Chain A
């Protein structure tokens, strides 16, 4: 069976159809979402970074293609609810008010339900007014996220530059350095070339970027997964960015959740991000954060873990890493539990299929029932 982007998109859309039967979160168009991530800023000063997520129109890529294999972010978006510019601006004001005194937060991440630079989500007017607001509030670094295609729109970059006078950084979901893995395993829908073009445009504007790189990709073995993440980190760092390893968590209405329910997917162990830090050179790992461990929007059904005995200590070591970049924390816990040996053993398991064969096998087995659901829903 030939696995095509159209086939993947139809599968994703079918899985997403569950949405229509789901009770959506309480809807208040005048309030956004806020949560906080552990980080460090400046000269490795520990920091808690506020993330503001505005409720906007749903991610365009989700609507077109069913969206990415692990993402449920748009669950907080407007869906069929109406949302207007004034609502979105109210959300931004509400967030700044909630974070008061804002001087505590020199680095602020603020984004929309999909891509902050997609004009369908954030209009020119909202873009300039929100950024002027952040500028007046004295924010030192404004961080946001966008799919790469929207970063090529220099009109929008000009608007940002004019409205916000300090540092800007864009988070881009690179996920993998391999076009094949990114698009066939994750349904991400863009090539490395688009990514490179986007970051070159951003850099030409004196702005920075960071990549999101998924750990816990479907259809990859744990070993392939780690190797894939390392390549994506290195591609990011070589191009002057920083890397956030997003440890997969289980969100309902996603492909990985669907696979997991059928015993065909497991979340990665916490040993995997730890090993990634070990495998990087010291000057590389300094620019890598490990995320997605214990919180997300919307709240996940399940997070990556180790065994009962060592989940907390390894989790806290990764949290400590994110706040200090002190590698001795990782060295102190890297062998605290016997379950690591077992996990390492499985990394060497012989696998006799390629990613392509696994994808083909999956769609051969599952496509008939997915197609049936798809048709039934259309009818």
Chain B
């Protein structure tokens, strides 16, 4: 990794090569706020459950239960400060909190008990505070036991999510495959097909080749996958953001997966929150999500759901919205899209409000500088301020 002399940082020192180490440094520094943050109430034998508007493979509308286990935090967060919009690990065993294998199994049992009668839920998604296949979060023993519990409960499709590197661990993948006898749906945070955007704007820390290898491993084990694709990436213009999401969705579909368009929401202790406080970041409008669907071909968009417009863990400071006159109309049309896949719902709201015209102007505006220059300039500007604000506690 390239080292940078932060104390004497000039804009010219930040290049596309050094930008990644800089964003990592910034993220780690921003995350030091965790130490003084008021953490949510902690009960290591219970976990979070929420429900996503969704469809079953046969097209029936469905509320998909998501079980979020309280485990050790995401390893990538600890190593690199984590992804620039994510605060998921806030539900994890942060600071002096700890959780044992036995407790994680208790959480799973508690969740399955809460969801009874389980016949209603043929498809259940379970995740940890980072990657379900990361052995520091979920041990071998726990992994096998959880899969068995879902198998015994008669669940038809088991969903989980993980960073791609853990999918290359064939032994762990086999443990999962052997522990649960029916179908899998594995979520991988691809976010962008573009390495620079993924790693510098998002601090995601993996190359596209790794993603391709990971989904190949899933195919080898006869497991389905879907990608998370972020809409609302920092530093991108509205048009760049939409275009990047469309390209990323297409890449995911070409690899044989589905795509979840994750509309950014505002989480504290993130890079986007820092930028937002300084008027350098805005959440996307719901129009952007609508535009992504519009730009896709009918057979492509059928494989895309739009997520995070109204619920997230932990509860965010703000969700993406349009103007007060049309937010609930467009938001409900998106809910309808996720539940039914009926594109007529989107067509009927796509110009339902005058605020769309303002958004179109924003969409058509061109940036002065190329993206790489804008990002490196912004990072160079941010770094001293981030350090001054939070001190150089991150090493």
Are A294 and B61 within 8 A (Cβ)?
no
B residues 43-84 touching A (CB-CB < 8 Å): 49-51, 53, 60-63
Does any Cβ of A come within 8 Å of B251's Cβ? no
A35→B62 CA distance, assembly (Å): 27
Does any Cβ of A come within 8 Å of B344's Cβ? yes
Contacts of B324 in A (CB 8 A): 299
A324→B336 CA distance, assembly (Å): 9
A308→B91 CA distance, assembly (Å): 17
Are B332 and A312 within 8 A (Cβ)?
no
Residue of A48, A105, A299 with most partner-chain B CB within 10 A: A48
Whole-angstrom distance from the CB of B315 to the nearest CB of chain A? 7
A295→B326 CA distance, assembly (Å): 9
Considering only CB atoms and an 8 Å cut-off, how many residues of chain A contact the other chain?
A: 30
Closest chain A residue to B311, Cβ basis: A312
Q: How many A-B residue pairs have CB under 8 A?
A: 86
Contacts of A294 in B (CB 8 A): 328, 332
Are B339 and A48 within 8 A (Cβ)?
no
Contacts of B121 in A (CB 8 A): 332
Contacts of B23 in A (CB 8 A): none
Contacts of B311 in A (CB 8 A): 312-313
Please tell me which one of the listed residues A38, A105, A332 contacts residue B336 in the complex, with CB atoms under 8 A apart.
A38
- Chain A 40-57 interface mask (CB, 8 Å, partner B; 1/0): 000001111010000000
Does any Cβ of A come within 8 Å of B217's Cβ? no
Does any Cβ of B come within 8 Å of A36's Cβ? yes
Does any Cβ of A come within 8 Å of B120's Cβ? yes
Residue of A323, A324, A333 with most partner-chain B CB within 10 A: A323
A336→B336 CA distance, assembly (Å): 20
Are B328 and A320 within 8 A (Cβ)?
no
A56→B345 CA distance, assembly (Å): 30
Contacts of A329 in B (CB 8 A): 61-63, 339
Closest chain A residue to B312, Cβ basis: A312
Contacts of B329 in A (CB 8 A): 35-36, 48, 295
Are A323 and B340 within 8 A (Cβ)?
yes
Are A46 and B310 also in contact (CB < 8 A) when A294-B328, A316-B53, A328-B120 are? Answer: no
Are B345 and A308 within 8 A (Cβ)?
no
Contacts of B120 in A (CB 8 A): 328, 331-332
The interface stretch among B180-188, B252-260, B346-354 is B346-354
Does any Cβ of A come within 8 Å of B215's Cβ? no
Are B63 and A332 within 8 A (Cβ)?
yes
Does any Cβ of A come within 8 Å of B263's Cβ? no
Are A326 and B51 also in contact (CB < 8 A) when A38-B336, A47-B348 are? Answer: no
Closest chain A residue to B341, Cβ basis: A46
Does any Cβ of B come within 8 Å of A319's Cβ? yes
A100→B49 CA distance, assembly (Å): 42
B residues 178-229 touching A (CB-CB < 8 Å): none
Are A324 and B51 also in contact (CB < 8 A) when A35-B329, A48-B333, A313-B311 are? Answer: no
Are A47 and B344 within 8 A (Cβ)?
yes
Does any Cβ of A come within 8 Å of B342's Cβ? yes
Closest chain A residue to B56, Cβ basis: A328
Are B328 and A295 within 8 A (Cβ)?
yes
Does any Cβ of A come within 8 Å of B157's Cβ? no
Q: How large is the interface on B (under 10, 10 to 19, 20 to 34, 35 or more residues)?
A: 20 to 34
Whole-angstrom distance from the CB of A278 to the nearest CB of chain B? 14
- Chain B 96-134 interface mask (CB, 8 Å, partner A; 1/0): 000000000000000000000000110000000000000
Are A332 and B51 within 8 A (Cβ)?
yes
Does any Cβ of A come within 8 Å of B335's Cβ? yes
Please tell me which one of the listed residues B49, B345, B347, B349 contacts residue A323 in the complex, with CB atoms under 8 A apart.
B345
Closest chain B residue to A336, Cβ basis: B51
Residue of B53, B310, B324, B328 with most partner-chain A CB within 10 A: B328
Contacts of B347 in A (CB 8 A): 104
Whole-angstrom distance from the CB of B281 to the nearest CB of chain A? 24
Please tell me which one of the listed residues A34, A36, A48, A326 contacts residue B61 in the complex, with CB atoms under 8 A apart.
A326
Contacts of A328 in B (CB 8 A): 60-62, 120
Are B344 and A46 within 8 A (Cβ)?
yes
Closest chain B residue to A309, Cβ basis: B50
Does any Cβ of B come within 8 Å of A71's Cβ? no
Please tell me which one of the listed residues B49, B62, B349 contacts residue A48 in the complex, with CB atoms under 8 A apart.
B349
Are A319 and B315 within 8 A (Cβ)?
no
Are A36 and B310 also in contact (CB < 8 A) when A104-B347, A329-B61 are? Answer: no
A326→B63 CA distance, assembly (Å): 12
Whole-angstrom distance from the CB of B112 to the nearest CB of chain A? 14
Are A324 and B348 within 8 A (Cβ)?
no
A residues 320-343 touching B (CB-CB < 8 Å): 320, 323-324, 326, 328-329, 331-333, 336
Whole-angstrom distance from the CB of A30 to the nearest CB of chain B? 15
A-B contact pairs, 27 of them (CB 8 A): A35-B325, A35-B329, A36-B329, A36-B349, A38-B332, A45-B342, A46-B344, A47-B344, A47-B348, A48-B344, A48-B345, A48-B349, A50-B348, A104-B348, A294-B328, A295-B328, A308-B315, A313-B50, A313-B311, A316-B53, A319-B332, A324-B61, A329-B339, A332-B51, A332-B63, A333-B51, A333-B63
10 closest Cβ pairs, A-B complex: A48-B348, A294-B328, A332-B63, A46-B342, A313-B51, A36-B329, A312-B311, A320-B339, A323-B336, A295-B328
List chain B positions with a Cβ less than 8 A from chain A: 49-51, 53, 60-63, 120-121, 310-311, 315, 324-325, 328-329, 332-333, 335-336, 339-340, 342, 344-345, 347-349, 352
Given A36-B349, A319-B335, 18 more pairs with CB closer than 8 A: A34-B352, A36-B348, A46-B345, A48-B329, A48-B336, A48-B345, A50-B348, A104-B344, A313-B51, A313-B311, A316-B63, A320-B339, A323-B345, A326-B60, A329-B63, A329-B339, A332-B51, A332-B62
